[in-house]
A and B are shown apart, each in its own frame.
Chain A
Amino acid sequence: MITIEISINLELIISFYLLFILGANNVANAIGTAYASRATTYRNLLILFSISVIIGSLFAKNVGSTVNSLSSDALTALIISALVMTLSTYKKVPISLHTVIICSLIGLNFNSSNLYVFGEILLSWILSPIIAVVIAYILYSAYEKIDISILKKITMIRYFLLISAAVVAFNLGSNDLPTVLGTFTTSQIIYIIGAIFLCLGAYLYGNRVSETLSMITNLSVSSAFIAQLSGGLAVTIFTALGMPVSTTQAIVGGILGVGLTKGIKTVRWKVLKNIIFWWVVAPIIALIIGFIINRMI
């Protein structure tokens, strides 16, 4: 008989809390467009989401190991992350969980080997949206060339909406989840339990999906799903390389890629500048907080 022992500690409680928030905040990103387009029922989408997250958690080891190699003081990093994420949600400032966790880990444990890994992660953060731009540009250009009837195109869009929802949910399990749990463990069983907490957040706060509905009705669904799918695929590439990257940042790259197919003038550079500003500032703040706490301890 196999006995699995899991000791409940503060790290586990905080990380499961973070995963719960992650699930609640990201379920709309994953299934919102598919739900608004009635690709299938909400119940089926939640099942697809859960299965994809749990399958993703089975491929979480790569990213988990990378994050784990940085970790020295997981508890402090998780407390900083939980506080910053709660504050940023309250203040509605778009900060990625990846950024906060990785930068606080680096700030807390500032040494040369960590800096090398941090350099690689930083490069992934820069490259993942760029790769998403390229994928979105190619996919959208190909999509525009498809010559089938409107009804068949709608059916095709619905298939791809389900695929892109599954890819984004898979990334939550294979990249976001090990970024949180990798701070203190590489245990597969903890990853699967974490995936269940993530799904629980999605089930209990799934009503946020309806909020995205009103937004999506004004959007071109084809542009939205191609941006989502491209972002998702870019993150999957980096998951395979073991790099923790943000799906949201990659999706922004996807949106830019779709926009570029319509010409460079259609891109709202002011909005993009604001987004990039937070991408640069947020890690610096997290690094400084981690570094100050490290010095104080």
Chain B
Amino acid sequence: MDVITMSIFLFERDNEKSVIDNLRLLIQMSLKSIELLKDYMNSKDEKILKEIIKIEEEGDETTKNIRINLEKAFLPNMRRELSRSAELLDETLDSLKHAAMLYELLKEEFDEYLKNEIDLVLMITVDMFQHLDRVLDVIEKGGDLDPIIKEIKDKEKFIDDVYQNRIYKYLINLEVESFWEGKILCDFIDNIVNISDYIEDVADELHIIYLHTK
């Protein structure tokens, strides 16, 4: 038994490792993009916007690499979920890019209340990404996934709650200069809030993989 266990430990599967590493890379890119978006909201510096766009393009390349590696990695009944996970993480980078580009079009800065609410949503989103990284840890090194998944779901529910009961209600009474100003503002907030949905979906997909091997 010891010999078998040893050989399992020694047998390195580069393809699986590469898929996990690239998923981690997408998470790191999203975290970096969130930090840049926060900076951009304070400075509206063109360079920062370009950097966010560049990260999104790199994300496309990383997603493509995951799909290529998946041809040879993992078991057949896991590939769909992993490919979907990569796709969803790529969507988060798209959302962040679109949010930044929409922010560029906004003529007025956010008032204090709205700014604080968006900061709160982004802070919880960062936390959710860190939990997602822990999910990958469990896939790689073992452990219990259920409590991490539960935390991700709770946080997503909290963001939904902030959006529905605080941001949305505030927006209804907000006076805007034009239709487009209002639309851009709403689209910006949607892009920010949607990221937590994507993270929850990724967690669900990875949870299915976990259940496949049970």
Residues of A whose CB lies within 8 Å of any CB of B are 36-38, 144, 147-157, 159, 213, 216-222
Contacts and interface: CB of A to CB of B under 8 A. Distances in A.
B8 A148 contact: yes
Given A153-B213, A220-B77, A222-B213, A38 B16 contact: no
A146 to B, nearest CB: 9
B191 to A, nearest CB: 32
Interface in B1-52: 4, 7-9, 11, 13, 16-17, 20
Contacts, number: 62
Contact of B8 (A155, A213, A221): A155
Contact of A159 (B8, B75, B209, B213): B8
A143 B141 CA distance: 18
Interface residues of B, number: 29
A3 B141 CA distance: 60
A7 B124 CA distance: 81
B30 to A, nearest CB: 23
Nearest to B209: A150
A218 B142 contact: no
Contact of B74 (A149, A154, A156, A220): A154
A37 to B, nearest CB: 5
Contacts of B139: 149-151
Contacts of A220: 77, 212
A151 B140 contact: yes
B211 to A, nearest CB: 10
Interface in B61-85: 71-79
Given A150-B209, A150-B210, A154-B13, A217 B142 contact: no
Contact of B77 (A38, A155, A156, A217): A217
